[in-house]
Structures are given as structure tokens and as C-alpha cells.
Structure 1
Amino acid sequence: MQPFIFLDTETTGHNPDIDKIIEIGAIKWQDGKILDRFESLFNPGVPIPYEITLLTGITNEDVRDAPQFKEKRDEIAEFIGDLPIVGHNIQFDTGFLHSHHVPAPPAAGRGTNLEIDTCILARMLLPNESSYSLEVVMRHHGLPLRESHRAMADTETTLDFFIFLLEKIREIPKELHEDIRRVLDKSGWWGKEIFEEMMENKNARKQEVRKEIGRQEAGEDGEKADTKAGAADEDFKIWAPATTETFLSEERTIIEAGGIPDFKIMNEPLVIAYRSNPHKEKIQTAAQQHGKSTAELLSPSRYLSPKKLHNIITARELTDGGTQFLIKMLLWEHSTQTGRQDELRLDREEYGLFDILADHSGEDIYWIKAIESAEKADIIFLHQQALSENGLTLKNRTLIITEAALLEDELTQAASHHYSVSTLAPYFKEKAEILFGLAGIFYEKYGGREGSEDLMLTPHLLQTLEWGRIRATIENLPECKKKQEILAALDDPAALRWISSFAEQLTINIVPREVAAIFAQATANYKKIALHDGTLTLGGDDTYLRNILGLNASWKLVREPYANGLEIIPKQDLPYAMSAEYFSEVIKLYRELIAEHKGRLLLLVNSRKAVEATFQALLNYATEAGVHLLGVGISGGAGKTCALFKENPDNSVLIATPRMLSHLDEIQDGVQAIAIQKIAFDFPNNPLVLARTAHLQSGFGQYSLPRAVLSFKSLLAKLDGHSAGKKCYLLDSRLWTKDYGKWFV
């Protein structure tokens, strides 16, 4: 194998255009041997931010007498030469090298070095990691991890991980080699030679590699005890007898109650539609304790079609991304028993690629096995979004939709379409770029007038010359089901359409104006239907639910007392939120909470900027208190931050925005206290909110308020687990100064 350069940098920030390199560590490696090293600190000419010092340990004093980068630039360039550069998310490091005038890889057209990204290799070879952060994935696989966060230490860690990944390639079953080579032969991907050489030399240097990375194989298997084996039955709170009796006797029921169904006396075949995995698992465990057989079913489009996979590898040419994804699918298809998409962790581009391989027509082996198994089960579990998807027709069963408070959101999401370059490129390649180039011209001409990020596609705009060009481009796309889907969605008279811009990417959004018809169609084949959640009304007023889902008078409301186990603590002594002293008082409160709880604390703030400001204000205090402070977007993305929190919840405090709530299932058992700075209401100018409130006398009172209350109560229900003494601190003064606050507190 040829030599490689392993490289890592430490910098003053994340922007290569303005931030500086303060340290570089590089290793020249070949065939299990380190040939040379390069390591140096650099004086950036600007103060090192405190959080960088905290992360790396590098201080301004450390770099005071260090050389400037330009003094070592030629030496670094000579060390790297024209060898491939390996790193984890290596584009970050090579971006800084280029900004400091060290040659970049040929993909950028400025040099001769290939980039080899261990993060991309990990996504292919380890398809279902909770996070692909180097720190998290190394720990997960029991690999040696250096904790210093210095450049050379991280470079050595990346080298260890690369060797681990090489062994994973060596372990690829021989029967897959032919298909993988067929894919590689149609690609110029940078990993081609690595895969070919490792598969060709399957047993070469295997012992040396294992020794170098220090894996402790003796304890890899058998350490994970079966935690379910021999476990005692759990004691679940069930519906009151009167609630169960009403459910069994009525065809349509709204059940506002805590707990779960009483499976001891329910003998009819059920479908249970859920929203979160922990809640599903709790119900599933209770059902199995009473001897019920269970199965889980997704829509056909969420299952892989092996026929499509093996047909597509004969394509004439493949992009780098297509090559990586097809190899990932070949490896996964060899090991999966279910072919379910949710076994994989996919990025945004990969969802579109999986859709090409999905069994939309329900004719291939994985879907057929799944539906056959489900039809034999006493209880079938579905995600709420699967209710409205084509291909699922479950007749002669009773449907219980649990966690139904936010069913509107799930039905909306399932019926929505969001098209961008990244989602359409897998189908149409460069034609997708042409399409969104025209969309950019259209958006700039008609969207900039009001300065809004959302451009509604009104009947007037759909008649313009610019939109006509976009429509013609869509109609001239190659024939396929995706093209038919786009045209049908654009022509849907019940849909709301707009173009949005985020992170310099345009998206065409097509969303149902209402969900009542979707709900009616999705539930038409069930004998009986129940909507269930701990909170479905505002003090018994179920107007919102009836209006949004189109429920008539035949739906009977059943309510039983439900007390959430959390202690709700309003902090009424805080100043007005817009006052000058508000932020300092909130930080003072957060310090008190850290002092009280030490860890297991989630701080929900209003925005990403608020995360950054809060993190900076608490960092010194948390460090001195020995608490690990985490901030989403600062400590890593949501996946990495959740993984770090879960590793040591007793000593971790997590700062996040309400967007983090979509990941709450991952960490809820580790959260003992939550502080909510501001209750989240729908943005009033959101196109969907405007459309769904246009006919109401009070859009706030009849729509936004009940949605906010139900969302808040759902959050509390998630946190109300088996652990006693959980607390929720409310910092939003509107809850005790506005009349509507009574519905929250």
C-alpha cells in the first residue's frame, strides 16, 4: 500500500477565511509503519478564544514564541508532498491548509493531493452509528482514544481508526467482492484503490494491524449481557376500567388519559400507531407480558428492494456519492434481516438515493416477509406517518393512535414534499442543478421584494415567464416515478406551495393545506379508532382536535385524571425578557441550577445565538464546578452532543434550542431537570400557519395556543419517566402575566 499523510489541525475557529491554525500534527504512514512525523504550534497573531483553550489546552502563552504559519509553510508542503491526505472530516483541515496557501486536493482544482475521509468510510462500513464523531465512534467500538484534543493526539487517533476501517474492508465476505468491484469499475472515487487492495489482500498484515490498534478482542463478545433475560415484569399504569369499557363499546373515541391500554382484557387484533420509540417499546413490553404477539410494519417505501439494488450496479457511470452509497447498501443488504431503512443512519443526500432503491410497489422480499409476519400478529405497530402512506391497507383491526396530541404534524410531514438539488440529484444529476439554477433566478426576482425567506407560489407567480421555464424543465426531465410525483404534487389543488431559502440552498415545498381528508382516508379501513394521549384538550375543550382532524359528533371524549410526575417550578422573580438585566439574571439562575443538580440538566434557550451566548457565559463556572458543559452546534451536532451527554449524564449540562426536542428520545432517561427559557409557539408568518388559520376568528386562540399547550404537555410526558424527582423550571414570564398561561402551568 502506498504511503499516506494523516493530518489534524487545531484552529482559533471554524471559518478558514478568517480563523487561524494554531497547531498541526501530521504522520507519514505506510503498511503499518510510521515513517515520519511533523508537529508544530503556531502563533496566530490573534488571541486564542477561551473555549479553544479549554478544548485543546493551548494557551496564548504556549504560542507566544511559536513561529507564524508562513514560516513553516514550505516545510509542511514538502512533508505532505503529493501523497493522499487522510483525516476525519478532512475537508475542514485541508480547507485551512489552503487558506494558509498549502496546496489543496485536485477536487478543488488547486493541487495534486487526494483527500481520504475516514468519516465517509465509517458511514459506509458502520451504517448505523448514533454519531460519526471520531470521539464517539472510537468509544463505541472500544478503540483506544486519546483525550487531549491536541493535533498529534487526534492524528494518532485517526490513524488507529483508519486501520480499524481497513480491517473492516478486509472482513467483507468474499461473495460480495464481485458486486463491489463492478461498482468500483464504473467510478473514479478516491477510495477505489483502498477497497481493491484490501479485498485482494484479505489476510495481509491482519495480525500487525490488530496489534497496532490495540483492540481487546477477547472481551468483545459476551460482555453485553441480555438485559431482558430473566427481567421481572414491569408494572405499567393502565387505563381506568371505565375508559377501557368506553373504548371497547364505542367505534370512535378520544381518550385523554395517562397510561396505556389494558392488554389483559383486550383480545381483538390491534394496530397501534406511535410517535416515539420509547413509548412504543413500553407498550410493546406490556403487551408481550400479557402474551400478545407483536410485529412492526413500515410502508413499502421504507424497505429495500434487493432487485433494484442489484440492477442498479450495472449503471454506466457513478458519482463518488453514488459509489459510496451502493457499496454501503451491498454491505448492509448482506447482513440485514429486515431491509428496513430505519436500520441505517442516512444523511440528507442518502435519503434520495435510498428512495431509488426502495420497494415502492411492495413486490420484493423484505416487504413481503414483513407483511406476512404482521398479519399473523395480535398487535401491529406503525409509526404515525405510515398511516397515510400508500401500500398499507390493514383491514378488520382496531386502531389506537397513541401520542395523538401532535398527530397533525406527523400527517402533515408524511404528505409533504420538499425538493432541493440534494434530493433530486440522485434522480436527475446535472439536470437538478439546472432546475434549481432557474429557481434561483425566479426566487431572486420575486422573493427579494419583501425580504422574506419564503416565496409563496401564488396563482399569479405560476403564470410568469420564469415559472414557465421551471415547469418546462421539470416536464423535460427523464421519465421516472419521481418526475410523476413532482408534477402531481405541483398540480395538487389541496396543496400549499412555496420556495424557501436556508443555508444558501433553495427548497420547493409542497404541503397539504389541511389534514382532515388525509386522516379520514388513512383510517377508513379500521373497525374502531381511538385517539389517545395524556393531554388532548384545553381543560376538556377538544375543539382544536376536532377541527384539525375533521372529527364529527360520533367521536366520544373520555377523560380521566392525569397527574404528570414532574415538579413544575415557575421562576416568577426574573425581570422582563426584553430588559437589559434579563440575560444576566438568567445566567445567575443557570449557575444555581448547575450548583444544585451538577448534571442531568437540559437548558432550552431561544436560538442558536442564545446557545452560543449562554455557553460562553457559563463555561468558566461549569469548568470550575467540574461539570461538562455541552452546547449543540458548539460541542458538535445534535447526534454527537446527545452521545456525549449519554456517556456521562451525571456530570453533563446540555444547552440546546427547541429543535433538540426531536432528539429527546435519545437522552430523556438521562435528564433529571429541564429549564425552558421560552415556550415555543408557531411562527405566525409561517405559510402553513397562515393557511390553516385563515378561516378562524382567532388564529392564536383556536390554533397556535392549543398546539403550543399540547406540544408542551407532550414534552413533560416524555420526561415523566420512572425516575422520581424530575423538575421542570419555567422561565417564560408570559405564563404568569398572560391569561393563557393557566393552560401551561
Structure 2
Amino acid sequence: MKLNLKRPLAFFDLETTGTMIGLDRIVEIGIIKVNPDDTEEVKAWKVNPEMPIPLETSLIHGIYDEDIADAPTFKAIAPEVAEFLQDCDLAGYNSNKFDIPMLLEEFLRTGEPFEIEGRRFVDVQNIFHQMEQRTLKAAYKFYCDKDIKNAHTAVADTRATLDVFLAQLQRYENTEWEDKQGNRSIPVVNDVEALHKFSNIHRTVDFAGRMVYNDQGEEVFNFGKHKGKLVTDVFNAEPAYFGWMMNGDFSLYTKRKLQDVHQRWQAARPPRPAAQPQQPRPQPAKNNFQKPQHPKPDHQPQPKPFRKPEETAKPVNEDMLQMLANKFKKG
């Protein structure tokens, strides 16, 4: 089928060191560019992420540290990748949520210009999920070839769920399945224990998915700033996080499971050393020297009142008489 294109549409996929867009790095890029004339151009690059690839990630995509030890860094190939994708619309599987943000993050990190404004994005996974809905109604139609009567009433939906389950057991009997690590098994069998293990995909600790189990069966946070970290490691690094969650808007069951982990963590902590009794500080030696006391007299001398010294009278002279005459002289 020829695609109706006005400009190239580049399908691409990334293999990375992990799924944290702000932290992980690209280790491989594969691009198939479909041109308007229906011709294709294919390019691929191995990339040195400048960080170790976790073993659990290598087991999924098969790329190990030694495979990319001599590969160029993304900064070295960024101009070539940007040129190859120039004027292209972008397409992929889950690309809107992962591949495009991851690719853009690498370009921004290196400073290589790569504009996404004006491009069109086609996410094949979103088309799949939109057209093949994962509702009970869709499942009932797919497995039982029937329409639910009285949908969204509790008993009718419950009956439909049971019918779908029975049809699944018949449909997938002896059907082989391969997990992400390449292990093959026949998981859908008429056994509740086996179906419990197979249907709990995310291995949640608390059903709400705030905590999940890792491959070693340890509790790991599955949200927020500590996503992917062991719950006990967070308790060690940030003890107040427990109180924040217990007082936060989380489900009661999440809080119960968190409290279980916290109590186990507290019990496993080494006991704190007993506080040593404080020795009394030595007091400085007192100086026994006392200032000699002088006896005070029984009667204190009273201060004498101040008196203005008396002036000697001056004899009357002619000038004084003239002054008096002038003073009492009538107009």
C-alpha cells in the first residue's frame, strides 16, 4: 500500500539505558524514512550513552556495555541524525510518550538544533488502543461474539466477565507465550495460582500501583520523585517521606502496606548506641580570699548646709547718693 504523503514520514525506534526520559540515554537508533514517492531510506546508529547499561535493560534489548564501548556519543552523531530527519514527520510505536521526548531530550542536551514545531506525529500504539478498545464490551464481543445485554448493571457485567474468562481458557489452551526476557511458557491454564501470577503484570504492592515489586521481590516506589527507588532506601535517605505519605491523599490500603514496610525497616535497623552518661564538669576552685571588712562607725557625719559667704558692707560715697537721687527723682 502506498502512503499518501506530502513530505517524508520517518518511522523510528530507540533502544535506551532505561525509561526515565530525563536520566537515561539512547544506545541505538533505527529509522526508516518513507518518501512521498514511496521510496525508503534506512539508517541505524549504535550510540555510546556515556553511562553503564543496567543488566536488566540489556537482557531486554540485547545491547551490553561492551557492544557500544567504541560507538560514537549522541553529540557526535546529532548533526547527522538531525539532517536525516529534516522536514520529516515522525511515527513510531508509543513514540508520542517515549521515543519523541527521549530523542528531543538528547538533542537539547547536546545543543544541536532540532525543531519539532510544524511536524506531524503518528503513534501506531494509540491507533491500536483507540480502534481495539480494551473495554468489557469489546472483550465480550471479541471472545464470545455477543453484545452485552443490560450493560453497566452489576450482575450483567459480572456474567459477561465470567463468560469472557471461560472463553479465554478455551482460546489460549496450549498457546505458547514469550515474555520480555525471551522465556517461553504456556501461561493461560485452568489453575488459579498460575493465572494469578500471569495476570498481575505490574506486581503491585498496594493495588493502587504506588508501590510495586522488583525482580528481587523488594518494594519499589512507582510514582513521583522517588520512582524506581527501593522504599527502604528512601526511608534511609529521607525519613520524613513516610510521614508525608501517611498524611497525604493516598488510599488507606496503600498506607497500610507502606506502614508494613516501614515497621519491617525499623525492626531491621541496627540499634542505636546507648547514650553515654555525661560526666559532671569540674568546677573551678573557689578563691577563699575575702576582702577585709572595715567596721562602719555607728554615726555617719551629717553634711553641713551650704551658706553663701557674707560680703563686707561698702561705705556710702557721692556716686551712690547721685544714683539714689536719680532713681527717686520726679518727672
After TM superposition, the score normalised by the length of structure 1 is: 0.21
Larger Rg: 2
Q: Which is richer in helix?
A: 1
With the length of structure 2 as denominator, give the TM-score of the two structures: 0.43
